[in-house]
Structures are given as structure tokens and as C-alpha cells.
Structure 1
Amino acid sequence: MSRRGWILRLALLLFLQTLVVIAGVELFWPRDRLPAPAAALVCLGGGASPSALNDDSRARANRCAALYHAGVAPVIYFTGVVAAPLMAELAEAQDVPRAAIFVEDQSQSTLQNALFTSEIAPFEGRIVVVSSAYHLPRAAVAFWVMGYEEIGLTAAGAPSLRPRPLLREVLATWFNMGRVVLWWVTPWLDADTRAALLA
């Protein structure tokens, strides 16, 4: 077999292995556990139109509101361009006080979610990141890269094997590895340029 053939086979094998792992996380992540108390909840946007949240973002916002009322954390940081303000509105409609809500609405990727949240949320203390189960491993790495050390993870929404988000997550997982490397090897760039590498 040619070198190109071996590379293609290896790429396909890595893709399928990653897909199996992500699907397993989505199916078997425990959803009924209340996380340990934390300094803050961080709710990751899962997409939205200018006027409406998609199902993932709505489920994440609902989960964060429930965790807030359960006393898990005193504040919620909603993060993600377009989705964050809408998720904040949904939380307010569920009686989360406006004073307990912070909105980061510039980030366009999970890595930027973590980067821009780190600029407005202190590193001290534990955070709980709330997202869809399939997205949590990648989210955990992103927040660790940006300096957070105590990271709890909580899944929102019922288990689902919808092909599109799972396949997208496989590609994003490997793509993010490349972006993290770029981030680490370009410390001399200005902050805006480095942030753009993570979009």
C-alpha cells in the first residue's frame, strides 16, 4: 500500500475511534448527579439564530438555571456569540437574578469561550462547565488550557445520537489540537491576533 493509502487509513481509524468515544460519552455520561459546590457556573452556547436558541443552547441554559436554584454556584457566566444573551434571558425568565448573570458574547469557538471567560471570571475556586455531554471533554481541555485548574463538568439535555453534532465534534476535537499548538507557540503575538487563532 502507498504512503498516501496508509495515511488515509490511519486518519479514518482515528476518526472512527474518536467517534466511538464521543458517542459513548454522550450516551453514558451521568446526568442525574448534582455537581459539588463551585464559585461559578459556565454555560457554553450551543448555537442560536438572532432571535431563538437551538435545542442544545436551550437545554444548557435550563440546566444552569436549575443548578443555580439548587445552590451549586452563586453566579452564571453565559458564553458564546449570539447564544449568550438569549441564554441569559431564558435564565432570567426562570427567576435567576440579573445580578447573578454575566454575559460573554464575543466568542466563536469553545477555545474562545474559555479564553474570554477567563478574562472576566477569576481563576480562584472551582467552576462547573455546563454543556452537552458529547462536548464536555473538549470543553474541559479548553478551560484547562486557559488556566482553570478546578473544573467540574455537567451535562445538559437527554442522550442523543444525532449524527451532525457528533460528527462535527469529532472534527472539532482534532482541529482544536492544532489551534492549541498555535496558541502555545505564538506567545509574542498581540492578544487580539492570538485570540483570532482560536476562532
Structure 2
Amino acid sequence: MHKLWRLIEIGLLLLVGFGLATLAGILLYDAPERDDYAAIVVLSHGALPDGSLTAQSEARTRAGIALYETGIAPRLVMSGGQGTTDPESKAALMAALARSEGVPDEALLAEGGSHSTLQNALYTARLAPDLLEAPILLVTHRYHGARSIASFWWAGFEDIHFAAADPEEIIWPGAEWEPIKWAGNVLRAAGYSIASGIGLEGPQLDTVLN
């Protein structure tokens, strides 16, 4: 029983730590200052059955488009898979919005297989391995920023920067789940890394990261 309570205490401490990391990412956000990123990577939030993006997905996409239009990066990468009720992958819907705003096809990449932040990172690495050592700019909401940076670092990206889709008016809905999602990320990433380290690979292993 003592060991069980000890594990519970450790779990609670970790959740508190993850919560503080999320809060720090929200409150201590600084806008990016570089002007020479290799790519802007926009992480999806969700889509609706009618083919429209959720408010958060649209905000992230428009933030990525606005950053691209400043000329700070030559490529815009949209990342997000197709849910059971989605007519297309979220990446395809985001890319369509970018095209409608004048972003040329040659500047767009769509990573449409991911269903989690860890998969956003891993599948983007597979789609564009040349970005692993280059400076990239992640675009998502503040509450999701710290976990996104950690996920892309785990996937092998070395020079990661962050631009918030809510740079001035903070969006809080979603932040309450971040400590739990952090814990899930740590467990799934550790399991994947161990399995990969002993030679396992393939689509079935990727589902560990869902």
C-alpha cells in the first residue's frame, strides 16, 4: 500500500509540474524574432463534418499564413490527419485555406496522417527530413506551445521556435487538459522510443502515438 501511495504522489507531482510548464508557456510567451526560418509548421486543432475548420484550427492556419506573407520562411507546412467525421485531412483543409489566401502550391506541404502532437512531429520529420537541422517556426496556441516544442524535439528537430496563434488575447479552453496530455505524451514517447530502439517499426508502432 505504501508503494501505491508513493506512486500516486509521484504522479500528482508530475501533473503539477506539467501544469506549471503549460502555464509558463502561456504567460511567458515572447514573439519570435528571427526572419530566416526554413519553414513554418502549423499544427491543427480540429475540423467539423461540413469540411470547415474549428475556430482554433482556422486561427492557427491564418496565423501561419500571415507569418508566411511576411517573408520569414519559404515553406508553410500544415499538419493534421483525417478524423472519422472529417471529409478530408485537417492538413488538406488548412492548405486549401492557404491557397485561397494566395499561398502558392510550391510553398505548401500537407502532412495529413497525424492524430496527435507526437505524430505531428514524427510525420513532419518523415515528410521533410531536411528540416530536422534547420530553424523551424511552430504555430499553435499558447497552451499547446510547450508540449509541441517538446514533441518536435523528441522527433529529432534541433532548432525549434514558436509563434502563438493567440499572441495578444490568450485562448484558455484546452489548457485544462494539458497536464494529462503531457503525461500521456511522456509515456507514449518513451514506449515508442524503447520499441524503436529494439528494432520494431511500421504503422502498428506508430499507433502507439495516437
Using the size of structure 2 for normalisation, the TM-score is 0.84
Q: Does the 8 A contact of 1:79 with 1:107 survive in 2?
A: yes
Question: Which residue of the partner structure matches residue 118 of structure 2?
Answer: 111
Q: Identify which of 99, 110, 114 aligns with 1:92.
A: 99
Question: Which residue of the partner structure matches residue 152 of structure 1?
Answer: 161
What is the one-letter code of the residue matched to 2:177? Answer: R
- Render the CA deviation track for 1:122-172: whole Å, top value 9, x for unaligned: 23422111111111111112111221111111111231232xx11221111
Q: Does the 8 A contact of 2:65 with 2:98 survive in 1?
A: yes
Within 5 Å, give how 1:41-52 maps onto structure 2: 41-50=40-49, 51-52=51-52
- Secondary structure of the corresponding residue to residue 134 of structure 2: coil
| Alignment RMSD | 2.0
Question: Which residue of the partner structure matches residue 190 of structure 1?
Answer: 201
What is the one-letter code of the residue matched to 2:153? Answer: W
Unaligned ranges ≥5, structure 1? none
Question: Which residue of the partner structure matches residue 59 of structure 1?
Answer: 59
Farther off after superposition, 81-90 or 63-72: 81-90
Q: Does the 8 A contact of 2:35 with 2:73 survive in 1?
A: no
Q: Identify which of 142, 151, 169 aligns with 2:178.
A: 169
Using the size of structure 1 for normalisation, the TM-score is 0.88
Question: Which residue of the partner structure matches residue 25 of structure 1?
Answer: 25
- Secondary structure of the corresponding residue to residue 53 of structure 1: coil
Distance 1:154 1:191, change over 3 A: same
What is the one-letter code of the residue matched to 1:49? Answer: L
- Render the CA deviation track for 1:26-65: whole Å, top value 9, x for unaligned: 233124x444311111111111123121122111101110
Q: CA deviation at 1:7?
A: 4.0
Give identity over the alignment, percent. Answer: 31
Distance 1:7 1:146, change over 3 A: closer
Distance 1:15 1:78, change over 3 A: same
Question: Which residue of the partner structure matches residue 128 of structure 1?
Answer: 137
Aligned length: 196
Q: CA deviation at 1:9?
A: 4.3
Q: Does the 8 A contact of 1:35 with 1:128 survive in 2?
A: no
Q: Does the 8 A contact of 1:27 with 1:160 survive in 2?
A: no
Q: CA deviation at 1:15?
A: 2.4
Aligned mates of 1:129, 1:147 — CA distance in 2: 14
Distance 1:91 1:102, change over 3 A: same
Question: Which residue of the partner structure matches residue 85 of structure 2?
Answer: none
Distance 1:6 1:119, change over 3 A: closer
Q: Does the 8 A contact of 2:137 with 2:161 survive in 1?
A: yes
Aligned mates of 1:35, 1:57 — CA distance in 2: 24
- Render the CA deviation track for 1:62-85: whole Å, top value 9, x for unaligned: 111011110111111101113211
Q: Does the 8 A contact of 2:79 with 2:111 survive in 1?
A: yes
Question: Which residue of the partner structure matches residue 40 of structure 1?
Answer: 39
Q: Does the 8 A contact of 2:149 with 2:160 survive in 1?
A: yes
Question: Which residue of the partner structure matches residue 84 of structure 2?
Answer: none
Aligned mates of 1:7, 1:116 — CA distance in 2: 33
Q: Does the 8 A contact of 2:145 with 2:162 survive in 1?
A: yes
Distance 1:185 1:153, change over 3 A: same
